[in-house]
Amino acid sequence: MDIKLIALDMDGTLLNSEQAVSDFNQEKIAQALAQGVDVVLSTGRWLGSCYPYAESLNLKSFLITCNGGEIWTIDKKLKERHLLDPERIKLMWELAQDMELNTWMVSTDSVWYGTRPDDFDAFEWLKFGCDTNESEKLDTLVKQLSHYDDLELTNSLPMNIEVNPKGVSKASALHNVCEELGITMANVMAAGDSLNDIKMIQEAGVGIAMGNAQEAIKNVADYVTDTNDQDGAGKAIEKFVL
């Protein structure tokens, strides 16, 4: 199997419960890089909260942020950006407030946790997210948002919802990264744990579900590795790449 690119989700995958990259995972990533394999962080996080990890791992390729909402080079040059309609952000904020959900909204230059700007139109919006411990509320919101055909709904944990523009995903961004590098998705190993990872896991040459992944992810993966607290990402790299 000719793996030339490793795409790693961060939370619940590369990072352990302490939000750290284990020594073992660092070692396996370094070995892959030494063999000329590209390693790409493919995350729901925005650039500011993932870049320090990329830097510490000495990554040299691209960063996929906000579930594919942006693609960056490692020297912070923007390659691609997909924005949500400010009216949609405002609608989702209002629906979430009515249902007393916790919210976060990611613009191109800031993240709004539980608050909103005075003017939604004054910002460029990448992603909307909300969570709750009450699954019925999430089900209700999903039903309401499913009427809008310009929205892509996923999650990064079982009890949250994340929203991007329709057609925007980690997989769509990975396709574009592959094109830039002159390879195909058949040359990709992708690892993740949540619904925002499912398409890249399905479309990669080797799709890896973490041991702590949601069942839907395990069902479509080529291989289920150990959990994020048991070096599952590094073990998958060792098995399929090194």
154 pLDDT above the threshold of 80: yes
| Phi, psi angle pair for 14, to nearest 5° | -70, -40
**3-state DSSP helix/strand/coil % of the chain, to nearest 5:** 40, 25, 35
Q: pLDDT by residue (tens digit) across 100-148?
A: 999 999 999 999 999 999 999 999 999 999 999 999 999 999 999 999 9
Over 80: is that where the pLDDT of 171 sits? Answer: yes
In this structure, are residues 62 and 76 in contact, taking their beta carbons and an 8 Å threshold? no
> Rounded CA gap, 89 and 107, in Å?
10
What is the rounded CA–CA span in Å between residue 73 and residue 76? Answer: 5
Task: Please check whether residue 66 is in contact with residue 44, taking contact to mean a CB–CB distance below 8 angstroms.
Answer: yes
Residue spans of alpha helices (H) in the chain: 23-34, 47-56, 86-98, 135-145, 170-181, 198-203, 215-220, 232-240
Q: What is the pTM of this model?
A: 0.94
Give me the helices (H) in 86-182, please: 86-98, 135-145, 170-181
Residue range 86-165 forms a domain whose CATH class is: alpha beta
| Annotated domain spans of the chain | 5-80+169-240, 86-165
Annotated active-site residue 98? The verdict is no
CB 161 within 8 A of CB 131: yes
Neighbour tally for 115: CB within 10 Å: 9
Specify the DSSP class assigned to residue 138: H
Structure tokens at 197: 């990872």
Return mean pLDDT, the chain.
97
Decide if domain 5-80+169-240 falls under CATH 3.40.50.1000: yes
| Run of H or E residues at 127 | strand 125-131
Residue tagged active-site, from 2, 9, 11, 85: 9
At 237 the pLDDT is 98
pLDDT at 71 over 80: yes
pLDDT over 90 (residue 20): yes
pLDDT at site 94: 96
**Which pLDDT band holds residue 1 (cuts at 50, 70, 90)?**
confident
What count of residues does the chain have?
242
